[in-house]
Structure 1
């Protein structure tokens, strides 16, 4: 069945938004940095939020707004993953969930492995929880990136207490294989450690890649793992504040159930209402249309870089709408996004923010119209000697 790609909103309409993407830089700058998309909301979400505003339904989030069951059904439908609703608990956003779980499973000074280049807030959430970051960079392969399992094994053997996983990985867009995740779980289980898996980009996995939830990778993964996820990336709901903490064993469930009540009270009511609709089957058609639009853009970017920015190195991502591009060959320094912002008036995410491995790199948000993406790359190309 052919799926019609979702159409992005016109730039003049987008500039009426008040979010970070459209308020950080002046109008002459094309913003392709922060992880917000330029598409209209799924119709069911718009309708549900409009009804809530009309009713003045802006009070406290109830103990069970229905999102646990909705996510369980979504996970079964989209990932072939059986999630027990009683093992799902909500909070404000993914990084808050990550931080609170880390706080519960570590002691002050414990080391937690991260796998750079990786989402910059990982470097903040670990110390916020009282732990210390231990870096085990992704291994670069001929076709992309993968977990350095031997490096993680060595770090845990050396005393690290656990792993903060990004699955799918931001910024590379890597979808870790079931085999890799199962091998990670065996290593972690052997060392008596844990994995906290950020799975916020999971709904945006592009075929033929197949997303494997960490908790479903193996029996060992179910024992040692915690997953934190949200509808916010796929459905552009970051400002509404609702994430889900998921477990798959009695032991890990007890840890999450023992978190302070305030962790769950921080869930935004509008986030829960919007997430409930996002995870409903009625929104699947919209999500498939979004994926079709992103499928076009991730390949369009490859063509544009080849034409306008020779020397750029780009591996088409397995998931998401964030592209990791190596511009080292252009000689624009460790942080080429600064030159691009100043001289091309295009805002990209700074590569070094993702770790030392990000030197010479930029992250480009392709969750926009093909026209905006084309104009942005043409502007960057004009800077190439």
Structure 2
């Protein structure tokens, strides 16, 4: 079946965060929203069919996850990422960020130190500080559009109170796909120091053709034993509203601690429709995903060529994963507040402010190109016109 990613879907007025919060976020509705990381493509038919089938049940009662749920997760992870996982390792979270937060609450104590690697997905900051833990930063090192880990600095910030490290794998917002040797070095440092590695792998299925995702826990048995992995079909299959994610914890003691918190706040049963959707996505989604990756890859190529030839004042390296572009706007010479205002008022684009990912993101903007090509073309032409206006002024 050929899927249509060029279809324009009207999302305004549907309760969409991306569209219906434009005035709240940007001060105006007059922007093309290219910020929050969901795509403007129709959720696949096999997911809609699974939800419709579930709706035929005359009772929407309390639900449990059956073998189809667990088998679909294990089968997908094995086939796509080469990692053998056991059914008993798999537990639940309403979302990946929820899974990260539950892990912090269940496996660390107030005052414990938790390391993150900025620039990085902004909830990493507040899930640490809002839970009363101490935030420690190990900044990534930029190198010609790709980020690298600073292992020497990492070792220098670890002390006996350092309990956990949160990894973005693949990296958001930079799009770096961490190599196995990088993950091995990181994991071995965590093993040596008794640090739990909390790996956010929500973008793992969106790796571009030239790269391969490596689950952090798959690198070695020792690293597996200290790693909590959070995954979901939400980014991959554009179904974040179904609030269904998985948390994979091989270590039985850590899994028990996680599940204790999950059950204490009574969110472990999940969403009856989300359970059905996840199983359908992982059982039937491979062909749709391959077509999506080809379309996203072409969008990335189109945007990269456009910036290089028509907006050279903004630099963008092709991401190794995801549909998010990390735009280096520093050559425009604007302070961050003015840069954000420029994108909203002049380019008519609603993007993520790079500084929300940490001070290392100042001078950057994050652009979501998970949209029909015609929308991307309009957005880039808006931006080109705005940048030319700067030069003319």
Range into which the TM-score falls when normalised by the shorter chain? over 0.9
User: Could you tell me which residue of structure 1 aligns to residue 278 of structure 2?
Assistant: 275
Q: Is the 8 A contact 2:145 2:316 kept in 1?
A: no
Q: Tell me how far 1:50 sits from its aligned partner.
A: 1.8
Q: Tell me how far 1:276 sits from its aligned partner.
A: 1.1
Q: Secondary structure at the match of 2:246?
A: strand
Q: Flag the 1:65–1:22 CA change in 2: closer, same or farther, 3 A.
A: farther
Residue 21 (structure 2) pairs with residue 24 (structure 1): yes
Residue 48 (structure 2) pairs with residue 50 (structure 1): no
How many Å separate the matches in 1 of 2:145 and 2:173?
15
Q: Secondary structure at the match of 1:244?
A: strand
Q: Tell me how far 1:101 sits from its aligned partner.
A: 0.8
Q: Secondary structure at the match of 2:174?
A: coil
How many Å separate the matches in 2 of 1:27 and 1:160?
44
Residue 348 (structure 2) pairs with residue 345 (structure 1): yes
How many Å separate the matches in 1 of 2:85 and 2:193?
26
How many Å separate the matches in 1 of 2:290 and 2:145?
26
User: Could you tell me which residue of structure 2 aligns to residue 125 of structure 1?
Assistant: 127
Q: Which runs of 4+ in 1 moved over 4 A?
A: 3-6
Q: Is the 8 A contact 2:96 2:200 kept in 1?
A: yes
Which of 374, 377, 381 is matched with 1:374 structurally?
A: 377
Q: Is the 8 A contact 2:107 2:254 kept in 1?
A: no
Q: Tell me how far 1:151 sits from its aligned partner.
A: 1.8
How many Å separate the matches in 2 of 1:259 and 1:64?
22
Q: Is the 8 A contact 1:194 1:225 kept in 2?
A: yes
Q: Tell me how far 1:62 sits from its aligned partner.
A: 1.4
User: Could you tell me which residue of structure 2 aligns to residue 325 of structure 1?
Assistant: 327
How many Å separate the matches in 1 of 2:273 and 2:286?
20
Q: Flag the 1:307–1:143 CA change in 2: closer, same or farther, 3 A.
A: closer
Which of 240, 246, 251 is matched with 1:249 structurally?
A: 251
Q: Flag the 1:343–1:283 CA change in 2: closer, same or farther, 3 A.
A: same
How many Å separate the matches in 1 of 2:101 and 2:48?
30
How many Å separate the matches in 1 of 2:354 and 2:29?
23
Q: TM-score scaled to structure 1, two decimals?
A: 0.94
Q: Is the 8 A contact 1:225 1:252 kept in 2?
A: no
Q: Secondary structure at the match of 1:203?
A: helix
Q: Is the 8 A contact 2:138 2:150 kept in 1?
A: yes
Q: Is the 8 A contact 1:6 1:290 kept in 2?
A: no
Q: Tell me how far 1:129 sits from its aligned partner.
A: 3.0
User: Could you tell me which residue of structure 2 aligns to residue 200 of structure 1?
Assistant: 202
Q: TM-score scaled to structure 2, two decimals?
A: 0.92
How many Å separate the matches in 2 of 1:352 and 1:329?
16
Q: Secondary structure at the match of 1:73?
A: helix
Q: Is the 8 A contact 1:8 1:40 kept in 2?
A: no
Range moving further from structure 2, 63-72 or 336-345: 63-72
Q: Flag the 1:263–1:288 CA change in 2: closer, same or farther, 3 A.
A: farther
The one-character-per-residue Cα deviations of 1:323-360 (angstroms, maximum 9, x if unpaired) are 11110111232242322112221111111110001111
Q: Tell me how far 1:72 sits from its aligned partner.
A: 0.4
Q: Is the 8 A contact 1:189 1:220 kept in 2?
A: yes
Q: Flag the 1:4–1:333 CA change in 2: closer, same or farther, 3 A.
A: farther
RMSD over aligned Cα atoms: 1.9
Q: Tell me how far 1:6 sits from its aligned partner.
A: 4.8
Q: Is the 8 A contact 2:234 2:240 kept in 1?
A: yes
User: Could you tell me which residue of structure 1 aligns to residue 25 of structure 2?
Assistant: none
User: Could you tell me which residue of structure 1 aligns to residue 288 of structure 2?
Assistant: 286
Q: Is the 8 A contact 2:168 2:199 kept in 1?
A: yes
Q: Is the 8 A contact 1:89 1:264 kept in 2?
A: no
How many Å separate the matches in 1 of 2:274 and 2:16?
16
Q: Flag the 1:56–1:127 CA change in 2: closer, same or farther, 3 A.
A: farther
Q: Tell me how far 1:85 sits from its aligned partner.
A: 1.1
